[in-house]
Structure formats: structure tokens, C-alpha cells
Amino acid sequence: MKILVTGGTGYIGSHTVVKLLEQNYEVVIVDDLSNSEESVLDAIKEITGKQPLFYQFDLCDSVKVAELFTEHKDIQAIIHFAASKAVGESVQNPLKYYRNNLDSLINLLYQMEQHSISNMVFSSSCTVYGQPDKLPVTEQTPFKPAESPYGNTKQVGEEILRDTTNAIDQIQAIALRYFNPVGAHESALIGELPKGVPNNLVPFITQTAAGEREQLSIFGSDYDTHDGTAMRDYIHVVDLADAHVIALERLLDTKQKSSFEFFNLGTGNGCTVLETVKKFEEVSGVQLNYKLTDRRPGDVEKIYADTSFANKELGWSAKLGLGDMMASAWKWQKRISKID
């Protein structure tokens, strides 16, 4: 069974490719390496003993996308990770985000129609909810106006999927709304490789612990949470990877209940920034240099998932806790920073 994984050398994509290969799927990766390295393919091979087929090109190039599907007429499903994901950059350069994230999706859907391919799993995000009025947030919570062009590409991406699956009988899709993916594969051979200064909390924590950043700024200590710092639902990337295989198989086995479904993927546990830092210190044994600073513009105060729909319908729940997330992120950081 041949599966196209776009963005398959990226952070979440590479962990999912490992799961797919371990379950004997044939994997074709397309990635333009705009935010990942070709060496990830070697790491995937080292973990699984298998080499996925790899094409390096930009999915906004409709001619190249068409050629790929002509060459691989037996693709059964697409897991579409490829997108630009830096929230701040999307505010500075919205057209890059609208073009990259939407053109790539449209090109793929167009080829699905041309080649009668039925199944797509799409990377969505909890960012579609903004700051929900009620927590935990369920899939039925209406979207708030997006806080960033990036967030808007995920809202519009889901709308494109809804309209397309309504209009074209043969196409069905599942959008997975990830909360805050963190951690790395247990081998520490693949993990998150942020380019430049990380925006996200956990890479900033591990780089600070590794001595690559002087100090972690904790953005905001006056939020309405028990310790004043913002609350998120961190989810281990390996748990996320499992959910992709389950969603894929739901589509392949035509078990879905409508042509477009969407699921929250989180642990259901809200964790504050300070709790995350403390857990990191506990599992790593490293004392972190941090200070409390002003809030970061655009941040929501607290969000965590109601996961009951994914638990019931997908039969999936997160198995790994915050300690596993921090320990694996630290193991990965130590490997890439060459710390014993």
C-alpha cells in the first residue's frame, strides 16, 4: 500500500514515516527541504532499516505534482504535513503563507480528483480555535477569527477540505488538530530541528539547557492560571504519529462517518510554562536559567483539548506523559549538541 507523505522529512512527518514503514506501508516522501534536512532520510533508515522513496520539490509547483502522480498511479492516500509554520513570520510575510500552505493543498486535491485518489489526512492545529470561551475545547467549538495568517491557512485549509469532500464524492479527508507537539523519537535519531532562534517553548528550553541560549524568557506571569504562566496541552510527537496511522487506516477501511472528519489530538491535560520547566529540570537534572518577562503578543492564556471524540472514534489516546516528552526532547538535544 503506497502512501504519499508530504513534509515527510520534517518534525512530525519523519516520526509518522517511521511508524508507516514499521507497519510495512510503502512510503513516498515529497519535501522541498525548506525546513528540514536530507540527512533525516538516513536517520529513518537507521531506525527502520528501510529507505523511503524521496522527491525534493516544492508542492506549489503544479507541474511537478502532476508528474509525481503520473509516475505513481498506485498512491492510495496522502498524509499532508508540508506547510510553513512560523506564526510570527506569517504576520510579516502573509503571502508566503497563503501561497505555500494553500497552493500545495489545492494542487494535491486537484491531482486526487484527476487520479481518483480517495484519502487525505491533513495537519491542522489547535490554533484554529484561538482562545476558546470554554475549556477543555471540543471539536464543536466554533473558530474565532484567526490570530495570524498562519492560523488562517489552517482554518481555510479545513474549509477547502470540507467543500471539496462535499463536492467530489470519491474524496474523503480527516483533519487532525494538533495541540502542542513536543518530544522526539526514543532513538534520538529524529526530533525537532528548528532553524535559527526557536519560537517554541520546548526547543528553547533544551537549547538553553545545552548552553546554546543564555536564558529562557517565560512570557507572562500574570495569566489567570494557578501559577500565573500560560497553559497548553503538550503532546508527544510519537503519540501524534500513531494517531496518523490510525486516521489513515480509518480512511482506507472506509470506517469514517462523514466525508470530512476532524479530531483534536492532545493529552487533555493543561500544563503551565512553569510546570513544563520544572518537569524538564526534574528529568534532565539540569537547572534552567530563566526569567519571568512580559506576555508575548498574540498568545492565548490557556488551551487544552477535550480528547473524548478522538478516544471514542479513533480508539486513540496519548500514552506518553510530560516526563517522557521532556526526557526525549533532552536526549535529542544532547545528541545534536554533542553533549555526553
In the bound complex, what is the minimum distance in angstroms from residue 169's beta carbon to ligand NAD? 26
User: What is d(CA 100, CA 305) in angstroms, rounded to the nearest whole number?
Assistant: 28
| Residue owning grid cell 496511522 | 245
Of 173, 316, 304, the C-alpha closest to 239 is 316
User: Which is the catalytic residue, given 97, 150, 223, 304?
Assistant: 150
Cell matching residue 120 = 487525505
Among 3, 7, 245, 267, binds ligand NAD (CB under 6 A): 7
HSE, CB side, 13 Å, CA atoms: give it for residue 297: 3
232 binds ligand NAD (CB under 6 A): no
| Residues 20-79 within binding reach of ligand NAD (CB under 6 A) | 30-36, 58-60
What is the rounded radius of gyration, in angstroms, for the C-alpha atoms of the chain?
A: 19
218 binds ligand WQD (CB under 6 A): yes
Pick between residue 108 and residue 126 the one whose CB is nearest to ligand WQD.
126
161 binds ligand WQD (CB under 6 A): no
User: What is d(CA 206, CA 332) in angstroms, rounded to the nearest whole number?
Assistant: 9
Answer whether 229's CB lies under 8 Å from 273's CB. yes
Of 172, 1, 199, the C-alpha closest to 84 is 199
* Contacted by 277, from ligand WQD, ligand NAD, none: CB < 5 to 8 Å by type: none
Among 28, 241, 271, 273, binds ligand WQD (CB under 6 A): 273
Answer whether 231's CB lies under 8 Å from 225's CB. yes
In the bound complex, what is the minimum distance in angstroms from residue 6's beta carbon to ligand NAD? 6
187 binds ligand WQD (CB under 6 A): no
Candidates 11-19, 132-140, 256-264, 270-278: pick the segment binding ligand NAD (CB under 6 A).
11-19
Candidates 12-20, 61-69, 198-206, 329-337: pick the segment binding ligand WQD (CB under 6 A).
198-206
**Known catalytic residue: 150?**
yes
Question: How many helices (H) does the chain have, and how many strands (E)?
Answer: 12, 13
Among 5, 83, 184, 235, binds ligand NAD (CB under 6 A): 83
| Residues 254-293 within binding reach of ligand NAD (CB under 6 A) | none
Q: DSSP E strands: which ranges in the chain?
A: 2-6, 26-30, 53-55, 75-80, 119-125, 172-178, 180-182, 216-219, 231-232, 234-236, 260-265, 271-272, 290-293
100 binds ligand WQD (CB under 6 A): no
Q: Name 5's Cβ contacts closer than 8 Å, sequence gap at least 6.
A: 13, 16, 17, 20, 27, 28, 29, 30, 52, 78, 79, 81
| Residues 286-325 within binding reach of ligand WQD (CB under 6 A) | 296, 299
Pick between residue 85 and residue 250 the one whose CB is nearest to ligand NAD.
85
Interface with ligand WQD (CB under 6 A)? 85, 87, 125, 127, 180, 199-201, 204, 216-219, 230, 232, 273, 296, 299
Q: Which residue numbers are catalytic?
A: 150
Interface with ligand NAD (CB under 6 A)? 7, 9-13, 30-36, 58-60, 81-85, 100, 104, 123, 125, 178, 181
